[in-house]
């Protein structure tokens, strides 16, 4: 598994700790094991470990702030990394490759809810088009490798992920870890809690441990080349304003809250359908957002000094 020390990688390690099968040996790679931007280092890692199955989680990622003005870097580096992993997997006759994409791949102008058939219907949102296109190309490459080489390469498309071991750096984080870090500092320094935008944008959020369970299922059971969306039900969609309230309550913040309405909201809506997932796993229970935020805040409070800040 690439990205083994990241948010989802740590979640998978946690779940596998309680659900490891006798015929499985899990190897968690991090940037210390190989620079996946290097074709030589990527191939060397595959030659060393000789994987039969691969979960590809590693990526250059970031929130709205990180993407603005950096779309070229996000496109180029993610394309290089993904191409190296796909080539190495095909070269080593990997039986199955599952790559983790993002709902950022979907068109900006579309109808809702979005589903797996709509990936290539138009350009992604302008704020993060570099990342969106690079991730979208994984689906194109999966189909090409299947057609030309018979490879079982597929992908999963999670909505906004958060949880323990997240990246809480204010310039590189996604929305929930960024807000948790801001709330922590505002409480510590007795300053105002500031939120970019109006807070009206809505999102589906998935807890990293839920995504870990679903990704393990995909590796073991999912047999389609076509991607599958991992997202809670549409009724679980929540606004950034409401998420902020949950975070402030969990961190026990009492103070001024400011919405910086001169800053961008980003894409206002990205509602994704989980109908395909429900056709496979109708009884899967997602962790409620409030509970997941409380657990993440608790982890951050306990691990602030060593967390990615």
Q: Do 182 and 194 form a contact (C-beta atoms < 8 A)? A: yes
Chain segment 162-208, per-residue pLDDT in tens: 999 999 988 777 889 999 999 999 999 999 999 888 999 999 999 99
| Structural domains present in the chain | 7-167+204-236+271-287 (3.40.50.720)
Q: Distance of alpha carbon 25 from its chain centroid, rounded?
A: 24
Q: Which of 131, 133, 184, 300 is catalytic?
A: 131
| pLDDT at residue number 170 | 81
Averaged over 4-11, what is the pLDDT?
Answer: 94
The distance in angstroms from the start CA to the end CA of the chain is 24
For strand 257-260 and strand 96-100, is the pairing parallel, antiparallel, or unpaired? unpaired
Chain segment 40-71, per-residue pLDDT in tens: 999 999 999 999 999 999 998 766 666 667 89
- 2 secondary structure, DSSP code: B
| pLDDT at residue number 66 | 65
For strand 193-196 and strand 257-260, is the pairing parallel, antiparallel, or unpaired? parallel
Return d(Cα 244, Cα 294) in angstroms, integer. Answer: 12
> DSSP states of 296-309 as a string?
HHHHHHHHTTTSB-
Q: Does residue 266 or residue 249 have the better pLDDT?
A: 249
Residue 152 reports pLDDT greater than 90: yes
Q: Does residue 141 or residue 61 have the better pLDDT?
A: 141
- 69 secondary structure, DSSP code: T
Q: What's the CA angle centered on 38, arms 217 and 167, to 5 degrees? A: 55
Annotated active-site residue 222? The verdict is no
Residue 141, both tokens: 């490459």
Q: Do 160 and 229 form a contact (C-beta atoms < 8 A)? A: no
Chain segment 260-298, per-residue pLDDT in tens: 898 877 778 889 999 999 999 999 999 999 999 999 999
pLDDT over 70 percentage in the chain: 98
């Amino acid at each position: 598994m690439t990205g083994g020390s990241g948010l989802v990688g740590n979640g998978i390690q946690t779940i596998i700790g309680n659900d490891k099968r006798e015929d499985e040996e899990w190897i968690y790679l991090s940037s210390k094991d190989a620079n996946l931007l290097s074709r030589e280092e990527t191939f060397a890692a595959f030659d060393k470990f000789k994987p039969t199955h691969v979960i590809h989680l590693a990526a250059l990622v970031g929130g709205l702030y990180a993407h603005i003005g950096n779309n070229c870097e996000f496109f180029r580096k993610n394309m290089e990394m993904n191409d190296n992993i796909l080539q190495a997997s095909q070269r080593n006759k990997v039986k199955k490759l599952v790559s983790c994409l993002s709902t950022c791949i979907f068109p900006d102008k579309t109808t809702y809810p979005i589903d797996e058939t709509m990936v290539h219907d138009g350009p992604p949102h302008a704020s993060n088009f570099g990342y969106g296109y690079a991730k979208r190309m994984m689906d194109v490459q999966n189909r090409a490798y299947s057609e030309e080489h018979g490879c079982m390469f597929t992908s999963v498309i999670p909505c906004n992920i958060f949880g323990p071991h997240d990246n809480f750096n204010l310039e590189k984080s996604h929305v929930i870890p960024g807000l948790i870090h801001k709330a922590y500092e505002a409480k510590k320094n007795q300053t105002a809690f500031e939120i970019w935008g109006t807070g009206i944008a809505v999102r589906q959020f998935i807890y990293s441990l839920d995504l870990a369970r679903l990704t393990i299922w995909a590796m073991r059971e999912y047999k389609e080349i076509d991607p599958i969306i991992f997202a809670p039900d549409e009724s679980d969609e929540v606004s950034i304003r409401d998420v902020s309230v949950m975070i402030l309550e969990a961190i026990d913040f009492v103070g001024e809250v400011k919405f910086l309405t001169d800053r961008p909201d980003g894409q206002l809506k990205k509602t994704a359908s989980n109908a395909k997932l429900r056709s496979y796993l109708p009884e899967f229970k997602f962790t409620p957002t409030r509970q997941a935020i409380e657990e993440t805040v608790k982890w951050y409070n306990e691990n602030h000094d060593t967390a990615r800040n």
